[in-house]
Amino acid sequence: MEILGIDVGGTGIKGALVNIKTGKLTTEKHRIPTPIPATPEAISKTIKQLVNHFNWKGLVGCGFPTPLQHGKCLTGGNLHKDWKGTQVDQLFEATTGNNFSIVNDADAAGLAEINFGAGKDVKGTVIMITLGTGIGSGLFLDGKLVPNTEFGHVLYKNGEIFEKYASDSARKRDKLSRKEWGKRLRKYFKHINLLVSPDLIIVGGGASKKFDKIEAKLDLDVKIVPAQAENEAGIIGAAMAAKHNIK
Ligand code: BGC
């Protein structure tokens, strides 16, 4: 069975058809830059372009980078303030005519890892942390997703959230070496470990590349591994979420 998986990101919106049994893409990926400003109207146009590119009439699973509950944006996150309160599945269904299932982007990445990657067959509590423009999280118990966690929003200090301190965009903004970034991530993962006591932490996004340089700085009492599906995880996981109708 194939589902069109779409990953809405801060810089690009990517899609491909996914065989949800094997977790493999059955077409080339197609990427369109995220429109600026990333308003609901502009993004739905891009989504329509993607659906048309694949000439797809079936179900679409879409990973979305904001806090969500049952497909509705709780805030505009790093996209645009106008998303707040938008029922994303209904908006995209109205624009394209396809059925949509919306899942948080980090939940989607985690679903790909749990089913086909670094979290495959891992029992107990697994947390996926994605380090990109923001920090996203996906929490799993015995392979089952507890949707819509927002562990990037854990407070760091002075009311500031960890996302602003330890994301990949914070690394770029503050021109950090991998070593320096690793020290910040150590503080973050130490705190996550205290809050969740996971059996495994899977790290996706910027830090999963050259992971060894960061890993040396982590030195924590919990197993931390880089994501395996990486660039494609968001697309694959979005399709998986649609199949299981996860919200
Ligand atoms: C959002 C999350 C999202 C993460 C990664 C954060 O700013 O609150 O929902 O998963 O960025 O895109």
Q: Tens digit of pLDDT for each residue in 194-224?
A: 999 999 999 998 777 778 878 777 888 899 9
Q: Which residue has the CA at smallest separation from atom 12 of ligand 1?
A: 65
- Domain match, 42 and 80 both: yes
Domain coverage including residue 173: 120-227
Residue of 78, 160, 169 to mutate, ligand 1, most atoms within 8 A of C-beta: 78
For 56, the 3-state DSSP assignment is: coil
- Domain match, 211 and 237 both: no
Instruction: Give the distance (Å) from ligand 1 centre to CA of residue 9.
Output: 10
pLDDT per residue as tens digits for the range 55-108: 999 999 999 999 999 999 999 999 999 999 999 999 999 999 999 999 999 999
Closest CA to 83 of 132, 150, 10, 147: 10
- Domain match, 99 and 7 both: yes
What is the C-alpha separation between 229 and 111, in angstroms, rounded?
A: 10
pLDDT per residue as tens digits for the range 227-236: 998 779 999 9
- Domain match, 223 and 237 both: no
- Domain match, 210 and 236 both: no
pLDDT of residue 229: 81
pLDDT per residue as tens digits for the range 5-56: 999 998 899 999 999 999 999 999 999 999 999 999 999 999 999 999 999 9
- Domain match, 90 and 132 both: no
Buried b (16+ CB within 10 A) or exposed e, 138-163: bbbeeeebebbbbbbbeebeeeebbb
Tokens of 171: 């690394």
What is the C-alpha separation between 237 and 53, in angstroms, rounded?
A: 20
Instruction: Give the distance (Å) from ligand 1 centre to CA of residue 24.
Output: 25
C-alpha distances out from residue 24 to 116, 117, 122, Å: 9, 12, 20
- Domain match, 61 and 152 both: no
Instruction: Give the distance (Å) from ligand 1 centre to CA of residue 109.
Output: 12
The domain that contains 237 carries what CATH number?
A: 3.30.420.40
Who lines ligand 1 at CB under 6 A?
Answer: 65-67, 77-78, 104-106, 130, 132, 134, 136, 150, 152, 163
- Domain match, 215 and 237 both: no
Compare 230 and 190 and report the one with higher pLDDT. 190
Would you say 164 and 153 are in contact if contact means Cβ atoms under 8 Å apart?
no
pTM: 0.96
In a domain, 114, yes or no: no
CA 226 to chain centre: 14
Residue of 7, 84, 105 to mutate, ligand 1, most atoms within 8 A of C-beta: 105
Q: How many CA atoms lie within 13 A of 146 on its CB side?
A: 14
Would you say 113 and 228 are in contact if contact means Cβ atoms under 8 Å apart?
yes
Q: Which residue has the CA at smallest separation from atom 4 of ligand 1?
A: 136
User: Mean pLDDT across the stretch 153-178?
Assistant: 94
Instruction: Give the distance (Å) from ligand 1 centre to CA of residue 170.
Output: 14
Choose the weakest-confidence range: 65-74, 146-155, 177-186: 177-186
pLDDT of residue 225: 93
Instruction: Give the distance (Å) from ligand 1 centre to CA of residue 209.
Output: 20
Strands 223-226 and 200-205, bridge-based pairing: parallel
pLDDT of residue 214: 80
What is the C-alpha separation between 35 and 44, in angstroms, rounded?
A: 10
Instruction: Give the distance (Å) from ligand 1 centre to CA of residue 148.
Output: 10
pLDDT of residue 29: 96
pLDDT of residue 223: 94
Judged against a pLDDT cut of 80, whether residue 246 lies above it is answered with no
- Domain match, 221 and 239 both: no
Closest CA to 142 of 169, 176, 174, 114: 114
CA 64 to chain centre: 7
